[in-house]
Structure 1
Amino acid sequence: MSSHSQTQATTPAAETTGAAGTSKAADTTAEFSQPESWTRIMGLPIGWFAILFAVVIACAALGVLPNAMLAGFAVVILVGALLNWIGGRVPVLRNYGLPTVLCILTPAILLHFGLFPTALAENMEIFTNGSDIGFIDFYVASLIAGSILGMPRALLLKAGARIAVPLLGTIAVVFITLGLIGAALGYGLRESVLFVAAPIMGGGVGAGIVPMSQIYESQMGGEASSYVATLIPAVIIANVLTIFCAGIFNGITYKGQQFFVGFNGNGQIVRVAGKVEDFSGKPKPTGGTFNVLIIGLTVAAVLFLAGSLIANFVPGLHAYAWTILLAAAIKIFGLLPESFEDAVSTWFGFVSGTLTPALLVGISITFFEFDELGALLSDWRYPVLVLLAVVVAVVVSGALGWLVKMYYVETSIAVGMGMTDMGGTGDVAVVSAANRLELMPFLQVSSRIGGALVLLLVSLLIPVLN
């Protein structure tokens, strides 16, 4: 429940004893909690947002913008919020990931053509990728801890065994197929697996290619930034193709068409006893008291530190991979109080809901290279392999799901498309295009758990393929 809702639920007696300060706080909460519209950006009236943005631009123009954490937060949050707001105002396309695409592409395009202030770009690059600040670690650790600990335990225990078949099978078939065909086409087995299959199946940008690039850096050498520039195009292209596939599935099933037994579940994923509601989690938290948020931040940070500690003694896997394994074990075996899990989930809701556009614009400036994109697309084998990865994932996941008493269409959407879209934003676009919003929890499993498994897999494959 948001703080605004909590304010509305306060009893009259409490309102009387709250005095003027309480009423003023309630009014402020109500003002900032209004939904995004044509007149508000980031919950702020456009006029006030413009003033904040103007201060940042003035500092950059006068050369007094420090490359420090506080300034970095201001820059990436304001730039990300503006682009996210613009994308969200475009009818139809906003449901197909336009805000995410604008955040990833626009800053890089403007910088490439000399239309983005250099001072802002330098600040964003240092903030996003600088070792002294570590915004990426901050974001990814929060996402890993919150997405796994906030997932319904029943979903992992009851549906896990059944979903595991199409999930694991799809990853294996996509990796093997792309590796073999890539080798046959002369593109290379290593390049096809690590730079096409892995990023597409890895869970998006923030939870996928960002930690993946750091795994590559630690195990193969080079710079994480160069790896991100190579990995991002596959994710963007695959996301568009995946949403297109979701629209096709909706088009051929909207009247309940059944091409064979178990083909279309009309939103129901399992063909045996059980309901989607049994595996649905609590609504994603959008706010919380300060002590809840600080507990969530602390648990997420310590979980990441624990993963780093294990990686120090067992260097075969990246710290992110160990963090994922720790979070999954804690969730499965119930090692943390539910209040702690809720706190981490609330913290994750805050970070993912407010800082994702900020992370994406930072990635755009720091990692996106148009020369790299042009080189990739100039080779016809690259887009062919990307298309092949999406098609194989959609077809194979549906077939494997059907074998374990799941509906073909729903499993293709939940697993195949859930793994090949652009993470959380891609999940929303896919279920919207497929007109199956009830499948969202399962797409989250594919994006988060499936993406985590891909990170583990590439950590193990690099020594073999390198």
Structure 2
Amino acid sequence: MSSQSVEQPRAAEKTEQPDAAPQAATAEFDKPESWTRIMGLPIGWFALLFAIVVATALLGALPNAMLAGFAVVILIGGLLNWLGGRVPVLRNYGLPTVLCILAPAILLHFGLFPQSLAENMEIFTDGSQIGFIDFYVASLIAGSILGMPRALLLKAGARIAVPLLGTIAVVFIGLGVVGAALGYGLREAVLFVAAPIMGGGVGAGIVPMSQIYESQMGGEASSYVATLIPAVIIANVLTIFCAGIFNGITYKGQQFFVGFNGNGQIVRVEGKAADFKAKPKPTGGTFNVLAIGLTTAAVLFLAGSLIAEFVPGLHAYAWTILLAAAIKIFGLLPEPFEDAVSTWFGFVSGTLTPALLVGISITFFEFDELGALLSDWRYPVLVVLAVLLAVTVSGALGWLVKMYYAETSIAVGMGMTDMGGTGDVAVVSAANRLELMPFLQVSSRIGGALVLLLVSLLVPVLGG
């Protein structure tokens, strides 16, 4: 990310200057050698490695193992990310991310993607024995929180509740009113459009939500899942595009009004800028440092999972966030440990993001379920309205409590309307603001838990 600005005291607000430095990702695409190298490899060598993987898949010799999974997702993600980075203008609006998360699913849908590759990617990305998603998200949570200035964490954590709660209320009320006005139905708009979109994704949102509906309205949970998923898929795609748009309109530090763009920093605070400025993101580290970072991030996630076993009201990711925040606030880890986790975070975010995105594409995107619901024009209108309300209202409420509009829209509005943990990864990648990952996880997990509680209260009121 470019250098981060901190708002000065109120009297100096009119003199705030935008940060004109382009983002690192865009600068990387502009290097002459980026046209002849993919992932740092000469194109010829990359093509050879890619051809070996494809040949192995076509001949049925591709094992569903961790090593094969890494080879597949890294090479496919690297190619699509490179192709998206070659397109001027659109690359600043998230085209590399959009290609990574949509192209594999589209090719698979039309039978143009080898089935053995798809099976390998599904097992590697979300399989119980490997779980690349947990590996990636845990690294981002631990590294971004422990690498965050303590003063910034204290300021942001106390304020994020305002846009989070306000956004949930506005989206539910707004969709209920519009759904009733359009003849779609207040109950249907709230329970089958607003709730799944704001509910925290599939595993932590739709699955428990479907069980709530089954117990309170009758029917089968599986049929509710099929009805709820399309709203999440459509909203997730729209949210990724919104994240790309925010990246495109802010990648040179543009400020459309005071407090609009924090260049990755979420809180506008008065005080010394040095107290709130993060350390430069590490670009490398010794093997020992990386090993410490990986181990610390992994154990932190295991601790969160352990707590979730005994206190199941929150997802393991949410407990991991709370643990990391407590460790940072109370200074429970030596600084070299924090630096090691931050270095590991820099490695994972800088090298494995496209790999995870293509895994998400194959594993979670389904196009067959969209047809019936999209035949009613009111359904996509309500989905679009939910995303737009969440993005705009969260930014406005965040701005009122001295948070940056763009960053709050991404962290809260988009964090609530994307596809949970996997959607969070796509959004922060498209917005080129990976340091916001913990805040999106708060929105997805804690916000999603609040939505489930709200839904359980609304079903009897709206008529089961």
In the superposition, the TM-score normalised over structure 1's length comes to: 0.74
- 1:247 Cα deviation (Å)? 7.2
> Closer, same or farther in 2 for the Cα pair 1:139/1:270, shift >3 Å?
closer
Change (3 A) 1:373 1:328: farther
User: Which residue of structure 2 lines up, in the alignment, with residue 325 of structure 1?
Assistant: 322
Alignment match, 2:51: 54
Moved more, 337-346 or 208-217: 208-217
User: Partner of 1:379 in structure 2?
Assistant: 376
| Equivalent residue runs for 1:58-73 within 5 Å | 58-73=55-70
Q: Is the 8 A contact 1:296 1:346 kept in 2?
A: yes
Partner of 1:3: none
Q: Which residue of 2 aligns with 1:15?
A: none
Q: Which moved more, 1:214-223 or 1:170-179?
A: 214-223
Deviations 1:305-364 (A, max 9, x none): 111211221222222222222122222222222222221222122122211211111121
Paired position in structure 2 for 1:260: none
Conserved 8 A contact 1:303-1:327: yes
Of 142-151 and 412-421, more deviation after overlay is shown by 412-421
Correspondence 1:230-379 to 2 at 5 A: 231-241=232-242, 244=245, 264-265=258-259, 267=261, 273-274=270-271, 278-379=275-376
Task: Tell me if the contact between 2:93 and 2:248 (Cα under 8 Å) persists in the aligned partners.
Answer: no
**Using the alignment, how far apart are the partners of 1:232 and 1:384 within structure 2?**
14
Q: 1:454 aligns with which of 430, 436, 447?
A: 447
Name the aligned partner's letter for residue 336 of structure 2: S
CA distance in 1, matches of 2:101, 2:362: 8
Which residue number in structure 1 is paired with residue 405 of structure 2?
412
Given candidates 34, 38, 44, the residue that maps to 1:37 is 34
State how far apart, in whole Å, the 2-side matches of 1:342 and 1:459 are: 36
Q: Which residue of 2 aligns with 1:196?
A: 197
Q: How far is 1:93 from its partner? A: 0.6
Between 451-460 and 108-117, the greater mean CA deviation after superposition: 451-460
Using the TM superposition, give the Cα deviation of residue 210 of structure 1 relative to its aligned residue in structure 2, in angstroms.
7.0
Alpha carbons 2:411, 2:439 under 8 Å: kept: yes
Q: Distance in 2 between matches of 1:247 and 1:63?
A: 42
**Alpha-carbon deviation of 1:89?**
1.0
What is the CA–CA distance in structure 2 between the aligned matches of 1:330 and 1:271, rounded to whole Å? 24
Distance 2:222 2:298 in 1: 26
Aligned residue for 1:286, secondary structure, equals coil
SS of corresponding position for 1:372 = coil
CA pair 442-51 structure 1, distance change in 2 beyond 3 A: closer
1:41–1:399 Cα change, 3 Å: closer
| Count of matched residue positions in the alignment of Structure 1 and Structure 2 | 405
Matches within 5 A, 1:141-220: 141-162=138-159, 164-178=161-175, 181-182=178-179, 185-186=184-185, 187-198=188-199
Shift of 1:387: 2.9
Change (3 A) 1:328 1:211: farther
**CA distance change for structure 1 residues 96 and 249 in 2, over 3 Å: closer, same or farther?**
closer
Q: For the Cα contact (< 8 Å) 2:175–2:382, is it kept in 1?
A: yes
Query: Aligned partners of 1:348 and 1:35: how far apart in 2?
Result: 27
Give the Cα–Cα distance (whole angstroms) in 2 for the partners of residues 142 and 229 of structure 1: 29
The whole-number CA distance in structure 2 between the counterparts of 1:42 and 1:415 is 32
Amino acid at match of 1:58: A
User: Where in structure 2 are the equivalents of 1:58-137 lying within 5 Å?
Assistant: 58-137=55-134
CA distance, structure 2, for counterparts of residue 376 and residue 296 of structure 1: 45
Instruction: Check whether the contact 2:260–2:404 (CA below 8 A) recurs between aligned residues.
Output: no
Is the CA contact (8 Å cut-off) linking 1:108 and 1:369 kept in structure 2? yes
Gapped regions of structure 1 (runs ≥ 5): 1-33, 200-207, 258-262, 432-439
**Where in structure 2 are there 5+ consecutive unaligned residues?**
1-30, 214-220, 415-422, 460-464
Q: Shift in Å at residue 167 of structure 1?
A: 4.5
- Give the CA deviation at 1:295: 1.2
Return 173-182 or 120-129, whichever deviates more.
173-182
Alpha-carbon contact 1:394-1:412 (below 8 Å) kept: no
Change (3 A) 1:165 1:277: farther
Query: For the Cα contact (< 8 Å) 1:415–1:443, is it kept in 2?
Result: no
Q: Deviations over 1:22-77 (max 9, x none)?
A: xxxxxxxxxxxx99701111111111111111111121122111111111111111
Matched with 2:462 is none
Cα distance in 1 for residues equivalent to 2:337 and 2:268 = 35
User: C-alpha deviations, 1:374-426, integer Å up to 9, x for none?
Assistant: 3443333333233323433344345434544x4xxx74322124434464664
Larger mean CA deviation between 75-84 and 349-358 belongs to 349-358
TM superposition shift of 1:242: 5.6
Instruction: Tell me if structure 1 keeps the 8 A contact 2:125–2:131.
Output: yes
Q: Secondary structure at the match of 1:310?
A: helix
Alpha-carbon distance in structure 2 between the residues aligned to 1:367 and 1:337? 39
What is the aligned-residue RMSD (CA, Å)? 3.8
Aligned AA for 2:281? K
Q: Aligned-pair distance for 1:373?
A: 3.4
Stretch deviating more after TM superposition (276-285 or 211-220): 211-220
Change (3 A) 1:148 1:373: farther
Given the superposition, is the C-alpha separation of residues 83 and 359 from structure 1 closer, same or farther in structure 2, using an over 3 Å criterion? Answer: same
1:216 to partner: Cα distance: 6.3
**Contact 1:83–1:103 (Cα < 8 Å) also in 2:** yes
1:365/1:244 CA distance change after superposition, 3 Å: closer
The answer on whether the counterparts of 1:67 and 1:123 sit within 8 Å (CA) in structure 2 is yes
